Amino acid sequence: MTTDSHPGRALLPLFLLCVHATVVLASVGGGHDRGGLPFPLPVTPFDEGYTQIFGDDNLVVHRDGRTVHLTLDERTGSGFASQDLYLHGFFSASIKLPSDYSAGVVVAFYMSNGDVYEKNHDEIDFEFLGNIRGKQWRIQTNVYGNGSTNVGREERFGLWFDPSEDFHQYSILWTESNIIFYVDGVPIREVERTESMGSQFPSKPMTVYVTIWDGSDWATNGGKYKVNYKYAPYVAEFSDLILHGYAVNPVDHFANCDNAPARELVPTGISRRERAKMESLRKKHMTYSYCYDRTRYKMPPPECMIHPEEAGHLQVFDPVTFGKNRHRRPKHRYRSGNATSM
């Protein structure tokens, strides 16, 4: 594949670089090497890259060291986090979600620095929202920058497969200029850094988090359907965990050259072919975008581009479903590689 067919690909911009570390141009050919990755990258074993943050024995690491089960039951949810903070990179997990009745259950794969910057944190979210029996899970993506929680940039998608039957790969590419969400190697959303967004684009080092928890007050139809522990335990399975970015020191935020990634190929943008797939998928499966939510915003946020066809499609869905209900995650603290739930 030539560079001309991938006009958006270039050097991954990481402005806290080690002097001799380089990330080079991607050339994505046919085929996915790891069940949905658009390019091959090394898997990070759990004990080398992650730390449990809450849940006690509700987190189980398999013997292979690369597969993790997280459980939600009447006692607690569970979760883990990367041992390092990262500034930009590619982060990915293969996930199999709980089956049957899953209303109120939230499985999250996200990046945040809320424990370091409590008043001006950044965040990039993949959230998986459970549903009643006969209804499928949904994906919600979101982006916060510099504590801009008053501007929720959620987009929600119906799934085109059953995520409880098998593993599917969910990935986040975060660069200095854009954020891309992938499902099975196909981009579903791109957030570009624009002048209008200003400091609201995530720009500070973040930790990667993976959790399962009770979101009864908002996750399914605005809290109409709660977690039913008759169907517990709810088990989410994770494998093929990838941390491909520059780890930074949590104190001075300089890159750790000893942990610099290998010269692996990664993209920084979306090719024409990928963009066509993304646009088609969004037309078919996107059910909510903050840009069209007039209940929340009298005027769309300045970075929004309004498309009449897209607006017409989204009118059939109720934006109040989560527009008036702010969600909360389990609070935790992350310090020097150790985390405890609160």
Predicted pLDDT at 147 = 82
pLDDT for position 309: 78
Q: How confident is the model over 207-220, as pLDDT tens digits?
A: 999 999 999 999 99
Task: Output the pLDDT for position 274.
Answer: 94
Residue 333 predicted with pLDDT over 50:
no
DSSP for residue 217: T
Quote the pLDDT of residue 313. Answer: 77
Across all residues in the chain, what is the average pLDDT? Answer: 81
21 vs 172, residue with greater confidence:
172
Most confident segment among 142-146, 148-152, 187-191: 187-191
Band of residue 40 on the pLDDT scale cut at 50, 70, 90:
confident
Enumerate residues 6+ apart whose C-beta is below 8 A from 240. Answer: 34, 35, 37, 43, 66, 92, 93, 94, 167, 169
Look up residue 206 and give its two tokens.
């973040």
β-pairing, 155-158 vs 138-144, is antiparallel
pLDDT interval class at 34 (50, 70, 90):
very low
**pLDDT beyond 90 at 341:** no
Find the helix or strand (DSSP H, E) in which 178 lies. Answer: strand 178-183
| pLDDT given at position 252 | 64
Active site positions, annotated: 123, 127
Q: Report the alpha-carbon distance of residue 80 to residue 45 in Å, rounded.
A: 13
Token pair of 252 as six digits = 């001075």
Between 70 and 247, name the one with better pLDDT: 70
Provide the pLDDT for residue 196.
Answer: 86
Residue with the larger pLDDT of the pair 288 and 19: 288
Report residue 257's pLDDT band, with 50, 70 and 90 as the boundaries: low
| Between 292 and 188, residue with greater pLDDT | 188
What is the maximum alpha-carbon separation in the chain? 55
Task: Give residue 21's pLDDT band: very low, low, confident or very high (50, 70, 90).
Answer: very low
With a CB cutoff of 8 Å and minimum separation 6, the contacts of 208 are 81, 82, 86, 91, 109, 110, 111, 243
Query: Is the pLDDT assigned to residue 20 strictly greater than 90?
Result: no
Say if residue 338's pLDDT is above 50: no
For residue 17, pLDDT over 90 is answered with no
Q: Alpha helices, DSSP H only, in 36-106?
A: 46-49
Contact indicator for 184, 173 with CB cutoff of 8 Å = no
Question: Which residue intervals of the chain are DSSP H helices?
Answer: 46-49, 272-285, 308-314, 320-323
DSSP 242-296: EEEEEEE-TTT--B-GGGPPPS-EE-SS--HHHHHHHHHHHHHHEEEEGGG-TTT
Q: pLDDT at position 118, please?
A: 84
Please tell me the predicted confidence (pLDDT) of residue 306: 85
Long-range contacts of 27-36 (CB under 8 A, 24+ apart): 27/1, 27/265, 28/1, 28/265, 28/267, 28/271, 29/1, 32/184, 32/185, 34/94, 34/169, 34/240, 35/94, 35/167, 35/168, 35/169, 35/184, 35/240, 36/94, 36/168, 36/169, 36/183, 36/184, 36/185
Give CA–CA dist 6/267, Å, rounded: 9
In contact, 154 and 110? CB cutoff 8 Å: no
Q: Any residues with CB less than 8 A from the CB of 257 and at least 6 apart, and which?
A: 18, 19, 20, 21
Residue 266: per-residue pLDDT: 67
- Nearest C-alpha neighbor of 172 from the set 105, 215, 131, 127: 127
pLDDT of residue 300: 87
Confidence (pLDDT) at 311: 79
Q: How confident is the model at residue 60 (pLDDT cuts 50, 70, 90)?
A: very high
Radius of gyration of the chain (CA): 19
- pLDDT at residue 324, as a whole number: 43
What does pTM read for this prediction?
A: 0.83
Whether residue 158 has pLDDT greater than 90: yes
